[in-house]
Amino acid sequence: KIQKNLNEEPVEVIAPELLGVSDIVSEVGQHCARSWKPEARELLKIIRSPHVKALCETHDRVGRNFEEYREREPVAREVPEGDLLNNDMPVETIKMVCLRRNVNEPLGLTVEIDEHKQLMVARIIAGGMIDRQGLLNPGDVILEVNGVPVSTPEELQAQISVAKESVTLKIGPNLDEEMKSARLTMSGGQVKSGRNLEPGKKMTCYMRSLFDYDPTQDTLLPCQDIGLQFHHGDVLQIINVKDPNWWQAKHVGTDGPIGLVPSQELEERRKAYVHPEADYVHKISICGTRISKKKRKTMYKTKSNNDFDKADLIFYEEVTKMPPFQRRTLVLVGVQGVGRRTLKNRLINSDPTKFGTITPHTTRPPRVLEENGKGYWFIDREEFEEEVRINNFLEHGEHNGNLYGTHLDSIRDVIKQNKMCVLDCAPSALKLLHNSQEFMPFVIFIGAPGMEQLKQIYAERRATGGSSRNLAFDRQSSIRYSSRRARTLESLASLYEDDDLVQAVEDSALLQRKYEKYLDIVIINEDFDITFRKVIEALDELAHSHQFVPVNWIY
C-alpha cells in the first residue's frame, strides 16, 4: 500500500497568499506592547514564543523559494520522434521494500534460482509475515538486502539472519514475467501497464491425513523450517494449492503456523517410484533397449476387492465439518477372539432402545422351534446367490455346505427404527460402509492386548463354558496328571496356546495397519469394563461435538 501511494501523481502545489509574514507579526507585537488590555498582553505572549517565530520565518522562506522557482524560464529538451514509443524501460523497474519483522518469526517465503540466474521469490506462505504486509509477489527478483547484493539463497539467509527488526529489499523485475505476461503493452501510442499476474489460488478445504509426515526427514522439501509435521488422522486445513507438489496447510483447531505439506500427486510419485536396480518389470535387452512385460488385463471382481485396494494410493481424504449428530452404524473390527461379539452384546443389552443389530440370512433349513426372522432369515440357495450377484450382501460365506451372510436390508431395517446398528463384520466390508452415504459408520478397532491379558481373556472364556482346546486337561485328575504322557501333552497344549497368543497380537497389529484409513478410534482391550466405557464415551462425544466426515456423505 505504501509503495502504491508513493507511485501516485503528486498533488498540485498551492502558491502562498502572502509573503513577509514575519514583518507583519513583528509590527503587531509592537502595537500589543503599548496596550494595557489583557487580550493584547496574551496575544503578545503568543507572538513572541519561539515556535510561532520559527513558523513565520519558515513560511516566508518557502514562499520566496516558490516565487524564485516559478520565475525561472523552463528548459526545453527535444526528444527524438518515436523515442518514447521505442523505449523498452518499464515504468516500474526497481522498487525498495521495507519489511518490519519479528526476530523469531520467519519471513514466510521460499526462493529459487531461475534460468536467468535470478534469485526469485518462488512462493509466499499464506498467513506469514510477507503475506500479511502484502509487499511482495511470487516472481519478484531480490537484488539486495539492506544494501548488500545477494544472488543465492544462502546469501539471502545470511543477510536476513544478521538483520534486526527492519529489512530493506531491493526488488527487480523478472525477465520471464516481462516477456511472458506482457507487462508493457502498446495501445494508441501510449505505454500502459498490463500486469495481469494471477495471485496464488487460495482455497479452504479440509483433508484428513492418512500417513505420518516428518519434514525433517524429507529431502525434497524446499525448506525444512517451513514444513508442517502431522500424524495419521490429523485434519489439515488446506490454504493454497497453486504448487502441484507442495500445499500450504495448517492444523485445524490450533493457532499454529501455516507450512508446506506434500501434495497427493507428489506422494503418489514418491511411493510409486522404483529404483532401476529393483525394477523387475522392465528389462534391458542384449542390444541395450528397454523392454517390458506385457500387462495382463483383469476384470474387477468383488471377492478380489482387497487385491485392488493394494494398488490404491490414497494419502488424503477430503472431509467437511458437521455439527453434532449420531452415526447410523457402529462397526467393531478386530482379530478373532479379541472380544468384539461380547462387546456388541453388552452394548445392545445396555440400551435396547438405542442399539440394535442385524438378523443374518442363511440357506440352511430351519431347526425345530426356529422361526423365520427370529434368529435367521431362511431363504433358498438360488435366491441367496442372486442377491450376492447384485451386491445386496455386505459380507457372506459358506459353512458346512450352507451360505450365511449380512444383507444390506437388515442394516436398513435397524436404521429405520432410529437405532444405531452394531456390526462385528469382517474388515473387508469397511470400504463399502465407508463409501456409503446411507450407513455413515463409526468404526472402532478393538486391538489385542499383551500376552498376559490375552491369557486372562482365554481363561475367563474357558471358565464360562467357552470353547477350549482338545489338548487341555483337567489338572484335578490324578491319573492324568501323574501320567508322563499327560504331562507331555499338557506342555504341548501350553506351547501351542502361547504361539496362538503371539499370532493374535501380530495379526491384530497387521490388521490395524492394513485398514487404518477406515478407523475412527483404536481401543486396546486390556480390561473389558474399561473398553466398554471408552466406547460409550466416544459415542457420547459424537452427539455433543462437531466432527469431520467424508465429503461424499454430505455432497
List, as one string, the DSSP characters of 240-281: E--SSSEEEEEETTS-PPPEEEE-HHHHHHHHH---GGG--S
Per-residue pLDDT, 514: 87
Phi, psi dihedrals of residue 416, rounded to the nearest 5°: -65, -20
Is residue 417 very low, low, confident or very high in pLDDT (cuts 50, 70, 90)?
A: very high
Q: What is the pTM of this model?
A: 0.58
Residues listed for the chain: 555
- Residue 422, number of CB atoms within 10 A of its CB: 22
Residue type present at position 210: L
Query: Amino acid letter at 428?
Result: S
> Is the pLDDT at 285 greater than 50, yes or no?
no
pLDDT confidence bin for 254, thresholds 50/70/90: confident
Phi, psi of 206 (to 5 degrees): -120, 135
Q: In whole angstroms, give the CA distance from residue 152 to residue 95.
A: 20
Residue 375 per-residue DSSP state: T
Q: How is 159-198 classified by DSSP, letter by letter?
A: HHHH--SEEEEEEE--HHHHHHTT-EEEETTEEEE---PP
Q: Provide the grid cell at 549.
A: 466426515
Instruction: Give residue 333's identity as a one-letter amino acid code.
Output: V
Q: What pLDDT is recorded for position 119?
A: 85
Query: Which of 63-77, 116-130, 448-462, 520-534 is most confident?
Result: 520-534
Which range has highest mean pLDDT (241-255, 285-299, 520-534)? 520-534
Q: What is the average pLDDT across 348-374?
A: 90
> What is the model's pLDDT at position 179?
45
User: Mean pLDDT across the stretch 524-530?
Assistant: 87
The percentage of residues in the chain with a pLDDT greater than 90, rounded to a whole number, is 20
pLDDT for 554: 82
- Most confident region among 59-63, 280-284, 433-437 by mean pLDDT: 433-437
What is the pLDDT averaged over residues 98-104? 76
Provide the mean pLDDT of the chain: 76
Max mean pLDDT among 115-124, 253-262, 278-287, 363-372 falls in 363-372
Contacts of 505 (CB under 8 A, 6+ apart): 448, 450, 451, 454
Has residue 500 got a pLDDT over 90? no
**Alpha helices (H) along 216-366:** 264-272, 305-309, 340-350
Whether the pLDDT of residue 487 is over 50: the answer is no
The pLDDT of residue 412: 93
pLDDT value, residue 326: 87
Residue 155 burial class via C-beta count within 10 angstroms: exposed 0-12, middle 13-18, buried 19 and up: middle
Work out the pLDDT band at 482, boundaries 50, 70, 90.
very low
